Amino acid sequence: MVTEEQKAQKAQRLGHGLGDGNGLSWSSGYARVVGAQVLSIVPEDRLLIRELAKQVAEIAARPEQAAKRELWHRHNALLETMPLIFCDPEAAWYEIIPADRLRCKGELARVWEFKLLKEVYWANEIKDDRVIEPCFRVHYVHDETGWGLEVRIVGGENDGAYRWESPLHDYADLGRLRPRQIQVDYDKTSALFELAQEVLGDILEVRLEGAWWWSLGMTSDLILLRGFERALYDLYDHPDGFHRLMAFLRDENLAKLDFLEANGLLSLNNGGDFIGTGGYGWSRDLPAADFAGKYTVCNGKTVRTRDMWGFCESQETVGVSPQLFEEFVFAYQLPILERFGLNIYGCCEPLDRRWDIIKRIPRLRKVTVSPWSDVRKMAEKLGPDYIYCRKVNPAPVSTAEMDEESIRATLQDTFVATYQHHCPAEVLLRDMVTVSWNPSNVIRWTQMAREEAAKVYQ
C-alpha cells in the first residue's frame, strides 16, 4: 500500500515539483521543462553528470545496442523479426528514481541527472529493446502564442483531476481565433547547446533537435476550445461550425509545419526517437532519397516533413461513428499526414471499426492496437503490411502485487494473433501512473513479455 509519505514524495517529482506529468518521457514535455530553467550548472553537479554520462557512453558501446538498432531497422522495414518489447514507466519513473536519490543541487542539473539515470536503468534493469545511444539531446527553447480565446484549466495540482473552461461558446466567435505562433528563443537555445557541449561534449555527442509536437491529431485542441460534450452535440446541432473549427485547426497545423520547415527547425526522427505512440523510429526508408543532411540543418540541407514520420490520433472521438469520424475528423487530418514520408496512426482509441478509413493514409506504416481493440481482428486486418503496435493495459502492472497470470494471458493472446497473421509486432507498456513503489514490476513485465513471445515465435 502506498503511504502518505510516498505520495508526498512523488508529488515533488525531481524536487520542488520540477518535472512534468510524464516522467520527462515525451520530448515535447522535456523540452519545455528544460527551457524554463536557469542555464547554470555548478562544478560539483558537473562532475556528477559527467560520471553518469560516462556510464551511458559505456552502455551505448556494447554490442547488444547495435543489435537492437538493427532489429528496429528490420522491424520498421516490415521484415520478419521477433516481436519488439518496449517498456516506459512514464510517471512511475518518479517512484523508480525518486527525488531523494538525485545528488545534484541545481534544477537543470537535476533534470539532466534524472534523464541519464533513466538511460542506465533502462539498459541494466528493464532490459527491453530500447537502444541506448551515445548522444545527449537538447531542444530549441521556445514558446507559443495563444489562440486569442484562451482555455482556463481548473485543478490538476499534483497530477490530480482537472477540468477546463472552454472559451469558444458560440461559433460566431470563430473569427476571434488566431493561429498560434511558435516563438523561438535563439539566444537561450544557443546558450543551452553550448552548456551541454561544455559539460558533456567530450563524452556524448550533443545534438540540437526540435520537439514541437506530440500529435497532430487536433481533436484534443478541438475539445479544449469547444468543450467535450458541446463538441459531440455539435456534430448534429452545429455541423457547419464544427467543420469550420476543424478547418481552422488544420490550417493552423499546416502553417506550423511550413514555418518549421522554412526556418530549418525540423529534425529527423528516423533514429532513436519515440514516435507517436508506437515505439521507435529507426528506419532506412527515411529521409527521402534526395536528402543529404544529418539531423537538422547540415551541409545546406534542411529537414522537410517528407523526411520524417508523421502521427495523428483521435482518442477524443472514440464514441463517434466511423461515418462521422471520416467526415468531421479524418478529412482534416489527411492533408497533414500526406506531407510525411512515413505515418503512424492511433493511440488509446480502438481502430477496429475505423480501419477502412485509416488505411487510406499514404505511406501508413504503424498502427496502434490499444487495450480496447479486438487484438485478433486487428491482426487479421493489418497482416504483414503494417506494424502492429500493441499497447497493453498498464493497470495490472500498477499494483503492489501483479497478477502475472492475467498479464501472461494478454501477452499470449497478442503474440498468437500476430504470429498467425504474420504481423510485424511490437508490444508497448506505457501510460503508467504508478508501480505502487515497486520498480521490479516493470522489470518482471519485460521478462514475461520476452518469455511469452518465445513460446509462440519458436
* Cα–Cα distance for residue pair 212/273, rounded to 1 Å: 13
Q: What is the pTM of this model?
A: 0.95
Strand partners, 136: 206
Range of the structural domain that residue 161 is part of? 4-456
Which tens digits make up the pLDDT trace of 337-369? 999 999 999 999 999 999 999 999 999 999 999
Torsion of CA 36, 41, 47, 49, to 10 degrees: 10
Above pLDDT 90, what percent of the chain?
Answer: 92
Map 194-250 to HEC letters.
HHHHHHHCCCCEEEEECCCCCCCCCHHHHHHHHCHHHHHHHHHHCHHHHHHHHHHHH
pLDDT per residue over 71-87, tens digit each?
A: 999 999 999 999 999 99
| Measured distance CA(350)–CA(373) in Å, rounded | 5
Evaluate if residue 294 carries a pLDDT over 60. no
**Number of domains observed in the structure of the chain:** 1
Whether the per-residue pLDDT at 29 is higher than 50: the answer is: yes
Coil vs helix vs strand at 90: helix
> At 14, which CATH number?
3.20.20.210
Q: What are phi and psi of 60, to 5 degrees?
A: -65, -25
pLDDT of 299 > 70? The answer is no
| Burial class for 397, CB neighbours closer than 10 Å (0-12, 13-18, 19+) | buried
Residue 427 grid cell:
508490444
Provide the mean pLDDT of the chain.
Answer: 95
Angle between helices 228-237 and 219-226 (to 10 degrees): 100
Locus of grid cell 478541438: 222
Residue 340's pLDDT is 98
pLDDT at 300 over 60: no
At 292 the pLDDT is 67
Looking at residue 214, its pLDDT comes to 94
Query: Which residues face 96 on adjacent strands?
Result: none
